[in-house]
Amino acid sequence: MQDDRLTLESRLSSGLADEFFSSLSAGELLFYAAEALALGLPDVAARWSPDPLVKAAAFLRMGQPQEALEALRDVENARVAVLRARAAWQLQHPEALPLAETARRLARQEGDAGAIIASAALLGELHLTEPRVALRTLAEGLKVAEVIGAEADAYLLAVLAHAQNRAGGTDKAQKTARKALARSPDRSPARAVALLALNRPADAREVAAAGKLGGLWLIPFTPALRQ
């Protein structure tokens, strides 16, 4: 399976992505476009995925919130609500926080563990200026992962490291950031954010460039960029 992924990554990164995707069936498009996003190729996923959630997530990776909202126009569920809340956050819309809270409530109602974890990570990010609040919010995501028997999400751990650092737990934050880095895929937001928590901004920028991450991903974790 790992060899198959490496082969796919090589093919999609070689400039032959459009040729590859144009030959796929509808079902194959769904699968391989999601794989492209997982491999850190959001431009390919945005261009080819027929799944509005994958397409929106890809646009958000690239810092294109308006395009993400357009992709989500005709669908409704907790995961969509989380993506819309993140789009609002990227747009610096004043409703970003209530939208994220609504997304978390919907995720709880639907019993969608993935959406609960994603909303917890986003709310933790939104509350980083109040690190104690962020820590309490992120704890729910950790608890859900524990309940379902899954590893803690790498992005949630990366956000947690920043919250811990801002709350004064420097040693704990470094340990959490190293764990997030170890679990994070190449070219992913989780990897870039974890590297920032480890005070490795040049490496974070390299990951962001390789994964075509919009600069909006890094701003909440680098206060100087807000100036």
Is residue 85 within 8 Å of residue 103, measured between CB atoms?
Answer: yes
Q: Please report the pLDDT score of residue 19 as a whole number.
A: 77
Confidence of residue 190 (pLDDT cuts 50, 70, 90): very high
List Cβ neighbours of 49 (8 Å cut-off, separation of 6 or more): 29, 30, 33, 34, 36, 37, 55, 58
List pLDDT tens digits, range 34-58.
Answer: 999 999 999 999 999 999 999 999 9
Query: Is 178 a residue whose pLDDT tops 80?
Result: yes
Q: Please report the pLDDT score of residue 1 as a whole number.
A: 43
> Cα angle at 130 between 124 and 134, to 5 degrees?
25
Q: Please report the pLDDT score of residue 225 as a whole number.
A: 42
* Domain range summary for the chain, segments of one domain joined by +: 1-50, 51-221
Q: Please report the pLDDT score of residue 22 as a whole number.
A: 82
List pLDDT tens digits, range 103-114.
Answer: 999 999 999 999
What distances in angstroms separate CA 40 from CA 57, 71, 189, one per listed residue? 11, 19, 9
Report the pLDDT averaged over residues 142-155: 94
Query: Is 148 a residue whose pLDDT tops 50?
Result: yes
Query: Is 224 a residue whose pLDDT tops 50?
Result: no
CATH of region 51-221: 1.25.40.10
List Cβ neighbours of 129 (8 Å cut-off, separation of 6 or more): none
Query: Is 179 a residue whose pLDDT tops 80?
Result: yes
Confidence of residue 13 (pLDDT cuts 50, 70, 90): low
CA of residue 21 relative to chain centroid, distance? 24
List Cβ neighbours of 146 (8 Å cut-off, separation of 6 or more): 152
Full-prediction pTM beyond 0.95?
A: no
Distance CA 179, CA 173 (A): 10
What is the average pLDDT score of the chain? Answer: 90
